[in-house]
Amino acid sequence: MAKKALESGKKTSYMVQLALMIALVVAVSFIPVLGYIPLVVIKATTVHIPVIIGAIILGPKAGAVLGFTMGMTSIIKNTIEPSLTSFVFSPFIPVPGSDSGDIRALLIAIVPRMLIGVVAGLVYRLVSMFDKKGFAACGAAALLGTLTNTGLVMGGIYMIFGHQYAQAINVGFEMLGTFIMGVVATNGLAEAAVAMVLCILLIRPLMKALKRRSINNAEKEELKAAAAEAAEQSLTEETDPKDPAVLD
């Protein structure tokens, strides 16, 4: 019984932490000029940072959930605050040359963002096996998580909406590949650098704080379980038919 209570406490703690990280992703997404920073033809992002941090702390499954949340905020933001290229992230924005959006925009908005968390969580677990302090593991997770997002988003745009995207940003299609490589080399690496610095600075304090809270919660659950077990045992002894007092 005590073991079940402890496992239940750990699951509750995990769900609470995941809910807090989801709330953080949503909050960062909708704070003006913070989560999605509008540039000339694209939007730089910082929303991926809490996704990466959550994946490092809670694991790749939680990272996928946080990435999905980021993808949904991207769809909403590009729908209610459209830019020249919002059609690649929202199926509700008409594609240039047509009167309707394209459902394939969901692939670009959601799949790369989910993979941010998966990649960051897995890379952190792998590298931390050889990095006791965790600095290299955090840096590697932030770098590869960010580049996963930038590379897959821009690659998806080229493959699915290449001609329409080139038209929207007024670039010849034959030059679009060069333009996309430039975005990856500039925006992508800049976003990765910011993510690496913040993750390295924040992860250890956050992990220590969450570990202390988890220990406190675990101790409370153990005490509750021990009390419940003692009460149950006492009740059993009082009603035991082998007890002479009961037989009399």
Domain with 239 in it: what CATH number? 1.10.1760.20
Q: Which residues contact 203 (CB under 8 A, 6 or more apart)?
A: 53, 56, 57, 134, 138
Q: What is the distance between the alpha carbons of residues 101 and 106, in angstroms, rounded to a whole number?
A: 11
Residue spans of the chain under pLDDT 50 = 246-248
Q: What pLDDT was estimated at residue 64?
A: 98
- Cα atoms in the Cβ-side hemisphere of radius 13 Å centred on 226: 6
8 A C-beta contact, residue 194 and residue 149: no
User: What's this model's pTM, rounded to 2 decimal places?
Assistant: 0.82
8 A C-beta contact, residue 154 and residue 183: yes
8 A C-beta contact, residue 65 and residue 71: no
Dihedrals phi, psi of 26, to nearest 5 degrees: -65, -45
Q: Which domain holds residue 66?
A: 2-247
Number of domains comprising the chain:
1
Q: What pLDDT was estimated at residue 113?
A: 97
Q: What pLDDT was estimated at residue 225?
A: 59
What proportion of the chain, given as a percentage, has pLDDT over 90?
61
Q: What pLDDT was estimated at residue 134?
A: 86
- Alpha carbon of residue 135 to chain centroid: 19
Q: Which residues contact 3 (CB under 8 A, 6 or more apart)?
A: none
Would you state the torsion angle of the CA atoms of residues 82, 71, 199, 190, taken in this order, to the nearest 10 degrees?
-40
